[in-house]
Structure 1
Amino acid sequence: MKRLAMAALVSLTVASPRVMAQEAETGNNDAEDVRALVAQLEALKASYAQEVRRLRELDMQVQAIQARVSGKTAQALPTPQVAAGTTPAVPAPPQAATAAAPPAGAEGYASSAAEAQEAKEAARRSVDDVKQQQSALFNQKLTLENSLTYARYDRKQLTLNGFLALDAIFLGNIAIENVESDSLTYNFAARWGVNPRLTLNLDVPYIARKTIYQKGGAGGSAAAIAQEETHGTGIGDVTVSANYKLFGERGWRPETVLTGGVTAPTGREPYGLDWKVIERDDDDFIRFAVPSKQPTGNGLWQANIGLSAVKSADPAILFGNIGYVRSFKRSFDDIDANPDTINPGEVNLGDSYYFGAGVAFAFNERTSLSISFSDRMSARASTRYKNGKWMKVIGSDGNAGTLNLGVTYALTSKATFVSMLGIGLTPDAPDFTLAFKLPYML
C-alpha cells in the first residue's frame, strides 16, 4: 500500500510541470486572441466613423443644393438615423482601445437636422450677398444701406505751344498740366421689396471733392509751375430705380433681373461756375484759370436700363451685368469755359454703355471673396451755343475699365459688411477706388 502511494506521488510530481506549461501556453494564446480582437474592433470603429462623416457631408450638400434650387429656405430634411443617432453599443474593450472612438458631433459636420439647416442657410447667405450687390434681394421687405467710397484720380498732360523747326527742333513753350482729384462719397440707399418680384430703390449721395491743378510754364518759364487747390461739397445726383425679377434660378438658367432707373440733376452742375484766374499774359490772355468750386453732379437728367444675372455653380457664384445710360440735353445760362465771357447754350452728354462679370467664392459661413471686371464706354459729348450749331467736344469720350476685388463678411443675420477695391485699368478710370458698404435688412 505504501508502495502504491509512493508511486502515485512520484507520478504527480513528474507530471505537474508539464500541466503548468500547457496552462501557460493556453494563457498566451488567449492574450494574443484578445489583442487581435481589439485590433479588429479598432479598425471597424474607425471605418464606421469615416462612413458616418461621409453620410453627414452628403446630407448637408443635398440640403444646400435643394435650398438653391427652390430659391428659398426649405424645412430641413430628416437626417439619416445613422448620422443623427449615437454609436451602437459594443462590448467594452480594454482601456487602450477606447481612445479610437470619435467624439460625437465633430466640428465641421452636421450631427443633427438643426446643424444641417444652419449649413444650408450659410451656403444660401453667400448667394444672397452677391445678389444684393448686383441687383436686389426680393425676399426682404426693407433694406437700408450706408456706404462710403474714396476715389483717387491723377492725370498728367504735356502741352506744347510752338512749332517744329526742321522737323526736329521744337521752338516755343513746353508746359506740364497735372490734375489730381480726391473724392469722398457717402451714399444712403433704401431698397423696398414691394413683392417677391419687384423692388424699388432710392440712392442719395453726398460728395466731398478736392482737386489740385498744376500747370508748368508759369510766367513764360518752362521750369516754373503754378498750382491751385479747389474744393466742393454737397449733395450729388439722386437716383430712383426699380428691379424686376424676370426669371428665378432653375437648372442651367441663372436668376435674371431687369433694372431701370432715373437720375435727377440735384447736384451742382459743372456749367456756369465762377472761375478763378491764376495767371494772365501781358496781352490779357488767360494762361491759367480754375473753377472756384468743384461740381457734385453732371447737370443732366439721365435714364438707364440694364440686365443682371446670378448663377450658383457650387462652390462658385457667377454674376454679370450689362446696361445702357441715356443722357438728355439741357440748357444752361453759361457753357463757356472762358471766365471773361458768358455764352448760354445746350449740352448733350454722350450715351454710355456698361458691362461687367465676375465670380465669388464662399470661404465659410460668414466670409466670401469676389473678383470682377467692369467697363463703361461713353460717347463724345456735344455742345451748342444759343442759335448756333451742335459741335462735338474733342476728348470728351472715354473708356473706364476697372478690376474689382471684394470681401463680404456677415456681421449678423441681418447686417453685412462689404469692402471693395477697384483698380483702374484705363486712363479714363480712377487710379483706384476703395468702398465700404453696410446693408442692414429689416
Structure 2
Amino acid sequence: MSWASDEARLPGRAQDVTDVIQRSGILTPKGKWSFDASFSYTQNSANKVSVVGYTVLPTLLIGLIEVSDADRTTLTLGLTTRYGLTDATEIELRLPYVYRDDSASARLLGDGDDGQNGALGEFVDTSVDGGGLGDIELAVRHQFNFNSTPYWIGGLRVKSNTGKSPYDVSIDDNGAFTEAPTGSGFWSVEPSLSMIYPTAPAVLFANVGYIYNFEDDVTVSGTKVKVGLGDTISVGAGIGFAINPELSFNLGWSHKTILKSELNGSTTENAKALQLDYFNFGFNYAYSPRSSINISAQAGLTEDAPDFQLTLRVPFNF
C-alpha cells in the first residue's frame, strides 16, 4: 500500500520529500496539531598541544608545553508541538532535556627555562556529568507563496535561558565545571528564510539565518561583568530524493560562523570567530498516513564543529 498516493491521506505537516512534491502547503494546516519526539547523540573530542613561549634555537624552547585531550558526549531528548494558526502560518514550542558527560585530561610536558624542557608531567583528569532542562524554544513560521515555486518560508525563533548556564556552575581548582551545564544562559532570537523547490522526484532546499544573542550580566570569580556571546550566521543547502512513495533520503551541507564574543562591550584578546561546517545525511520512512520515522547523521568537517551527531525523530500528525 502507498500511503503517499492514497487520496484519502489525512492533511498534515509535510513529513517527507513525497509530501512536498504532492502538496504546496509545507506547514501545519489551520487548526491542526502535530507533535514529534526526537533523540540526538552528539560526540565531540579535541586533542591539543599548547605552547606558551618562544624558540631560541630549533631545539630550545623557553616557556611551557601542555598536552590536553577532551571528550564530550551530549544526549538530548526533545518534545516539539506545532499548531497551524492558518494554512500559511504555524507556531512551535520545543522542550529539550539535555544530558552531558564531559571528561578531560591534561599533562604539562615541561618548562623550558629551568632545564626540564620535554620532561613529562603528571596527568590532571577531570570528569563531570549530569542533566536537566535545556533552553526552551518558541518559533513562528510563515509560508509566503503556494501557487508558484520555489516555496519561500520565513521563520522567527526565540530561545530562552531556562537551561543551566555555564556561568551558574562553580569551577574547581583545575578550572573544570563541578556540574554539567545544560543551556547557554542567554536569550537569543533567530530570524531565518528557507527556500524549497520541488522538482520530482527530488526537492532542492536552502536556508539562511542569523542568531542574535542578548547581552547579560554574569558573575565571574566574584566580579559582575557584561557578557555578549558571539552572534551566529548560518547557511545551508541540500537535496532530498524520493526513492518511492514511502521512503526518501537527503544530502546536505550546512555552515555556521560564530562571531567573537564580547566582555563589557569589547572583544577580549583570546576571543576568536569559529567556523563550523557539516555534512548531513538522512532518510525518512512514512509507515502510516499520520506518522513517519526520520534518522539523520551529521559529520563535522572543520576543527570547531562537533565530530558526529545522530538524530532520531518521530513526527505524528493529528
Q: What one-letter code is carried by the residue in structure 1 that aligns with 2:161? A: P
Q: Which runs of 4+ in 1 moved over 6 A?
A: none
Q: What one-letter code is carried by the residue in structure 1 that aligns with 2:249? A: L
More helix by share: 1
Given that 2:143 and 2:154 are in contact with CA atoms closer than 8 Å, whether structure 1 keeps it comes out as yes
- Sequence identity, in percent? 24
Alignment pair present for 1:207 and 2:98: yes
Q: What is the rounded CA distance, in whole Å, between the counterparts of 1:366 and 1:117 in structure 2? A: 9
Q: What is the rounded CA distance, in whole Å, between the counterparts of 1:130 and 1:168 in structure 2? A: 63
Q: Which has the larger Rg?
A: 1
> Secondary structure in 1 aligned to 2:315?
strand
Q: How does 1:323-402 map to 2 (within 5 A)?
A: 323-332=209-218, 334-335=219-220, 341-384=221-264, 390-392=266-268, 394-402=270-278
Q: What is the rounded CA distance, in whole Å, between the counterparts of 1:234 and 1:218 in structure 2? A: 37
Of 174, 196, 199, the residue aligned with 1:313 is 199
**C-alpha deviation, 1:265, in angstroms:** 0.6
Residue equivalent to 1:424: 300
Q: What one-letter code is carried by the residue in structure 2 that aligns with 1:237? A: D
Aligned CA distance change for structure 1 residues 136 and 145 (closer, same or farther; 3 Å): farther
1:114-171 residue CA offsets vs partner (Å, 9 max, x unmatched): x9953897xx86436669xxx9523361101100000011112212244422354224
**C-alpha deviation, 1:224, in angstroms:** 2.9
Q: What is the rounded CA distance, in whole Å, between the counterparts of 1:376 and 1:299 in structure 2? A: 20
Q: Considering Cα pairs closer than 8 Å and 6+ residues apart, tell me whether 1 or 2 has the greater RCO.
A: 2
Of 283, 300, 316, the residue aligned with 1:407 is 283
Aligned CA distance change for structure 1 residues 125 and 206 (closer, same or farther; 3 Å): closer
1:27-83 residue CA offsets vs partner (Å, 9 max, x unmatched): xxxxxxxxxxxxxxxxxxxxxxxxxxxxxxxxxxxxxxxxxxxxxxxxxxxxxxxxx
1:164-204 residue CA offsets vs partner (Å, 9 max, x unmatched): 22354224442211211000000110010111011000011
**C-alpha deviation, 1:222, in angstroms:** 2.4
Alignment pair present for 1:440 and 2:310: no
Alignment gaps of 5+ in structure 2: 112-118
Residue equivalent to 2:6: 118
**C-alpha deviation, 1:417, in angstroms:** 0.2
Residue equivalent to 2:151: 255
Residue equivalent to 1:192: 83
State the TM-score, normalizing by the size of structure 1: 0.64
Given that 2:26 and 2:143 are in contact with CA atoms closer than 8 Å, whether structure 1 keeps it comes out as no
**C-alpha deviation, 1:241, in angstroms:** 0.7
Q: What is the rounded CA distance, in whole Å, between the counterparts of 1:431 and 1:192 in structure 2? A: 34
Of 125, 131, 142, the residue aligned with 2:33 is 142
Given that 1:352 and 1:377 are in contact with CA atoms closer than 8 Å, whether structure 2 keeps it comes out as yes
Aligned CA distance change for structure 1 residues 413 and 117 (closer, same or farther; 3 Å): closer
Alignment pair present for 1:292 and 2:178: yes
State the TM-score, normalizing by the size of structure 2: 0.88
> Secondary structure in 1 aligned to 2:6?
helix
Residue equivalent to 1:304: 190
1:279-308 residue CA offsets vs partner (Å, 9 max, x unmatched): xxxxxxxxx321101211111110110111
Aligned CA distance change for structure 1 residues 343 and 185 (closer, same or farther; 3 Å): same
Aligned CA distance change for structure 1 residues 197 and 119 (closer, same or farther; 3 Å): closer
Q: What one-letter code is carried by the residue in structure 2 that aligns with 1:361? A: F
Q: What is the rounded CA distance, in whole Å, between the counterparts of 1:116 and 1:379 in structure 2? A: 43
Q: What is the rounded CA distance, in whole Å, between the counterparts of 2:47 and 2:271 in structure 1? A: 14
